[in-house]
Chains A and B, each alone.
Chain A
Amino acid sequence: MTSTAERIQLLAEACALSCVEKWIGKITARDLKTWLAAELGSATALDDFRPHGPIQSKAMAPKDILHILSGNTPHAAIQSLIRGLLLGSHNTFKIPSSGLPEFIECTEGIPAPLNQLIEIHDTLTEEHWSRANAIIAIGSDASINAIHQKALAHQIFIPHGHKLSIGIVYNDFKNAARLAARDISLYNQRGCLSLHAIYAAGDSRSFAGLLAQEMEHFCQQNPPEPINLSEAGAVRNLRETIRFCAANDPSTQLWESQDSLNWSVVHENSATLKLSCLNRCVYVKPLPPILNTQILGPEAQHLSTIATHPFSCTEAAALTNLTALRICPLGTSQQPSLFWHHDGFAPLASLVKWTDLG
């Protein structure tokens, strides 16, 4: 179908839909063009042969991309959709049997010429698997491994496994608490960019208290959607377990929303990174003198983003000894740049192959 320029215009219309914009932020046609040029060297790399050293090369998008989506990450699903459509590939989406209504809503507003490039199924046939030139898998490590085993040798495989993110606060607690509350609360921690723990230098308990105030403030402006029985059980279980620990260890403390399960802040001294039970529950911990994967423990290998405050590239670069592939200012963890390397992959460049002349 359509040239890259036409797809960019249509996709920009789709990105302006409120149901899309609320997940990925504002993206214009100019952004899409610049992004494509940054990844492929030229915004027309998919249309024409372009000089590449002594030869000429043209980017070849995968004819068919199979996207296997997890149940609670519409954010990642929509990003994957935009990437596939910008490349002009046919996109087959496997959604979980429990559905992914936010994603479906977004696809319904996509302009017709692009909509023809979308197929959505809750089960996959052998044909879906075999015809895919590229497979993007979003899910648990076990699922990713199983999908990888099913992939054929010629298929490009892009895994997006379990991830979690953390914050680091050096000073300026008041502003940091406000920014952290946003990064924690947006999307109820369902995405891989959500913060599960904040490491605070100095008086971390004082920061936890300020964060609790800001969690309540954010909650008043942006109340969470109702949670189900299972999610509520997880929050209640966390609170009661922490209440037990706090009763026996003065360094542990719980702040919680009153008469609701809207948010919970836990201060504890252990530096070991733990998964939050989600739905606006976060751990605050003292920032150790040295922060490395050994101190963070087994979850360190699943780090996606580290959000710091105040942010400086110098201090951020010092954190690259951790396995996180993105270090950003606190308050922006949930809005990665269009240009980010998702889990270390260049999202467009990783999907294309090149044909050379000369």
Chain B
Amino acid sequence: MHEPTFIERDVLAALKGQPLRENQFNSLALDVFRYQFNRNPAYQNFCKASEIQPDKISQWQDIPAVPTDTFKHSEYPLATFPVENTLKTFLTSGTTSELKGHHHFPSTRLYDQSIISVWRELDLPQLQNQHTIFLTPSPEQAPESSLSHMMGVLANSLTEKPTWAVNDSGQLEIDTITRAASFDLPVAFIGTALAFLHLFESIETPLSLPPGSWAMETGGYKGTKRHLKKQDLYQLFHEKLKLAPDSVINEYSMTELSSQFYSRGLNQAHSGPSWTRVRVIDPITNQESQAGQAGHLVIYDLANLHSAMAIRTQDIATRSEADLAQGNNSFTLLGRDPSALPRGCSRATDHNLQP
């Protein structure tokens, strides 16, 4: 049984308490950095190579961020504890020939609390008095999936009537979905964009959902050739479920993080909880992008106490003047960097076949 350290108690209190102010975040972030520097030799070596040490910085922005690819190097685990004491490991998605990233946890206490507290802090829709239908495998079906784990936490902590609509073969149970949607209770659909696409292709007659119904989509179309523009996906939400864009929420996160960011409707920024911060870095200059200019998203997540709190993603985002005005944890997501995809000498030419 993993006993929480002092710093874990501090972070847990931050997740449960009032939203962190900037000075509170900065102070706790520097404590977390010191903890990770001292407890994680692989990260400490990286920081030293970057010539940054805890006693040399005073701003969270200066904490070295590790690329998500470093989670694929299991020979240098990003863990503040002996990996043999791992309780849970989540794996990144990918093809069988690709290396998968490993995110180890000695306990999921912070992770679980983060999922619940984000929901509360960002004022996301109530899950009580609703029928919640998960279009993802359950945690038992996909124990290495951080997304399924998150859904399990939501199901156990926030919902009253959860239904898991993916069977053991990975197929959507369409009858289960249509039956669940026929009750009087409002329905909350939660699943990946790909699962929703399959659902929409499987139902000919639009479902009539009770007022107050909504949906949350996440995860994109990883590992598939499918892709749909967000506005086209949201049009299908309207056609098939009669849900307006404002009734559809997008969740952004990744296996390498412990917290989530949410946006509602189309053309809206994603916001995270007060224990996260984001920066958009221009890869050419390696400096923070100007407002409105695209760059790569770097995320600081205090709930990532047991690995690395500063993560350099391969997702492209901007921070508009409005995002900047909202604080340091909102951004407008432009998408996954196409160069992050495996490729050889030639750019993928799937679009060659498009008429």
**Known A230-B316, A233-B283, A244-B42; contact A71-B345, beta-carbon cutoff 8 A:** no
Given contacts A68-B352, A234-B339, A243 and B46 within 8 Å (CB-CB): yes
Q: Mark B50-74, 1 if CB is under 8 A from A, else 0.
A: 1000000000000001110110010
Please, how many angstroms separate the alpha-carbon atoms of A50 and B75 in the complex? 66
Interfacial residues of chain A within 140-179, with CB under 8 A of chain B in the complex: 140, 142-143, 146-147, 150, 161-164
B184 interface hit (Cβ, 8 Å):
no
Contact B338 A261, beta carbon cutoff 8 Å: no
Contact (Cβ within 8 A) A247 B316: no
Which among A6-14, A18-26, A111-119, A187-195 touches the partner chain? A187-195
Which B-chain residue is minimally distant from A149 (CB atoms)? B353
Judging by beta carbons under 8 Å apart, are A233 and B296 in contact? Answer: yes
Q: Is the CB of A243 within 8 A of B50?
A: yes
Are B349 and A139 in contact, CB atoms less than 8 angstroms apart?
yes
Max chain A CB contacts within 10 Å: which of B50, B344, B349?
B349
B355 and A123 form a contact (CB under 8 A): yes
Closest CB in chain B relative to A61 CB, distance in Å: 24
Bound Cα distance from A26 to B134, whole angstroms = 63
Is the pair B342, A275 in contact by a Cβ cutoff of 8 Å?
Answer: yes
Check B50 against A140 for contact (C-beta < 8 Å). Answer: no
**Contact check: which of B46, B97, B316, B350 meets A233 at CB < 8 Å?**
B316
* Chain A minimum-CB-distance residue to B338: A230
List 27 A-B pairs, Cβ < 8 Å: A68-B349, A70-B346, A71-B347, A72-B347, A96-B351, A97-B354, A124-B355, A139-B349, A139-B352, A146-B350, A161-B346, A163-B344, A164-B345, A190-B345, A193-B345, A229-B284, A233-B339, A237-B340, A240-B312, A244-B42, A244-B67, A244-B70, A245-B73, A245-B76, A246-B49, A248-B42, A304-B345
List the count of A-B residue pairs having beta carbons below 8 Å apart. Answer: 152
6 closest residue pairs by CB, A with B: A139-B349, A162-B344, A234-B339, A247-B45, A192-B345, A247-B49
Residue of A68, A97, A139, A230 contacting most chain B CB atoms (<10 Å): A230
Counting chain A residues whose Cβ lies within 8 A of the other chain, the interface size class is: 35 or more
Residues of A in contact with B (beta carbons under 8 Å apart): 68-73, 94, 96-97, 123-124, 138-140, 142-143, 146-147, 150, 161-164, 189-194, 227, 229-237, 240-241, 243-249, 261, 275, 277, 298, 302, 304
Among B46, B50, B347, B348, contact of A248 (Cβ-Cβ < 8 Å): B46
CA distance A46 to B148 in the complex (A): 64
Q: Report the bound CA distance from A35 to B351 in whole Å.
A: 34
Contacts of A236 in B (CB 8 A): 283, 286, 296
A140–B350 touching, CB < 8 Å: yes
Are A248 and B45 in contact, with the CB atoms below 8 A? yes
Judge whether A164 and B314 touch: CB under 8 Å.
no
Q: Which residues of B line the A interface, CB within 8 A?
A: 41-42, 45-46, 48-50, 65-67, 69-70, 73, 75-76, 97, 225, 282-284, 286, 294-296, 312, 314, 316, 337-340, 342-355
15 further interface pairs, Cβ-Cβ under 8 Å (given A69-B352, A73-B346, A243-B49): A69-B349, A138-B346, A140-B343, A140-B349, A162-B345, A163-B344, A163-B345, A192-B346, A229-B316, A230-B316, A230-B337, A233-B296, A236-B283, A247-B42, A261-B283
Collect the chain B residues with CB atoms within 8 Å of residue A146's CB.
350, 353
- Closest chain-A Cβ to B279's Cβ sits at a distance in Å of 14
Contacts known (A143-B353, A241-B70); A164 close to B340, Cβ less than 8 A:
no
* Complex-state Cα separation, A170 to B309, whole angstroms: 44
Q: How far is the CA of A322 from the CA of B45 in the complex (A)?
A: 38
Cα–Cα distance between A230 and B296 once the two chains are bound (Å)? 9
